[in-house]
Chain A
Amino acid sequence: MTGYEGADLAIALINVVLLGLLFVIGIAIARMRSLFAIVMLSGIYSLISATWFVAVDAVDVAFTEAAVGAGISTALLLGAMLLTSRTAKPEKKAMSLVPLLVVIATGAMLVYATIDLPAFGDPESPANTYVGTDYIERTPEDIGVPNLVTAVLASYRGFDTLGETGVVFAAALAVILLLGFGERSLASSVGSRRGREK
């Protein structure tokens, strides 16, 4: 899957650069106090991590990250910021030590867990031996879709995906019914504000 010779080196460089950018943004988010800047930076973080997912060939995950992380959650965080203040309170030194320790411990455990993982592209790994090969063999005859992920999500697991869609639709409907949407909620909120002013 390489375009020209030296593409492996290029991918390694891209990984290092993108992860370095993510690291810088993470440190900046942790140190900033302006909530608006933090929201913007988290959107940028999502965009860059989505790019990194594309670089490691997980296009579907990357698209979800871009749509949810950079699109929806930026809007949601801005809406939440409307209800709170614009800057975070400065915190004490001792209070910031505990989260640091928790993060370091979690990171150490995750690194320890990756030692057990099979090597990337290992033909003997569980993902490449049992049912995976079966799906790869059967999908062209069964479904006739070139993309295996699409075949699994939309056909082999079709009822599961249908149920998920129903759940998400019900949740969105409930939120819209509770919060109001569009013209009606605008009219009521503007009306109540004007009423209070008078």
Chain B
Amino acid sequence: MIGAAAIALIVAIALMMIRALSGPTLYDRVLAMNSLGTKIVLFIGVLGFVLGRPDFLDVSVLYALINFVSTIAILKFFRYRSFQVPLMRRTPARRPAEGGEGD
């Protein structure tokens, strides 16, 4: 049963990789990477049970956090072309430049 789950996850990872390799737009690739990270998190969880070490679940939770933060960082980069822009808009006078306006 766990073996079937692991094989299904491997197939899903392969499909995500195909999308990341051939994705026509940038957002396909970002989405493929994020989704592949989720599959990796699940796969490490399954792997913990295959190896008889359920404490791998802690590792997979940490991977989920890293995956989330890096996806936010990449999307923020595409929105603002910089990492130095705060995500919250505080004052309308200092509103960050729209994505791709000046560049």
Residues of A bordering B, CB below 8 Å: 1-4, 7, 10-11, 14, 17, 21, 24-25, 28, 36-37, 40-41, 43-44, 47-48, 50-51, 54-55, 57, 59, 62-63, 66-67, 70-71, 74-75, 78-79, 82, 180-183, 185-187, 189-190, 193, 197
Contacts and interface: CB of A to CB of B under 8 A. Distances in A.
A19 B30 CA distance: 23
B3 interface: yes
Contacts of A54: 44, 47, 56, 59
Nearest to A186: B84
Contact of B69 (A43, A71, A187, A197): A71
Contacts, number: 123
B66 interface: yes
Q: Classify chain B's interface size.
A: 35 or more
B58 to A, nearest CB: 9
Interface string B71-82: 001100100011
B36 A47 contact: yes
A75 B83 contact: yes
A193 B102 contact: yes
Contact of A2 (B3, B13, B51): B51
Contact of A75 (B6, B10, B70, B96): B70
Contact of A185 (B23, B33, B44, B84): B84
A54 B14 CA distance: 19
Chain B binding surface SS class: helix
A41 B62 CA distance: 21
A10 B3 contact: yes
Contacts of B17: 21, 24-25, 44
Contacts of A78: 73-74, 77
A74 B66 CA distance: 12
Interface string B1-26: 00100100010011001001101001
Contacts of B59: 54, 59, 62-63
B102 to A, nearest CB: 6
B83 A51 contact: no
Given A51-B43, A51-B44, A43 B52 contact: no
A181 to B, nearest CB: 7
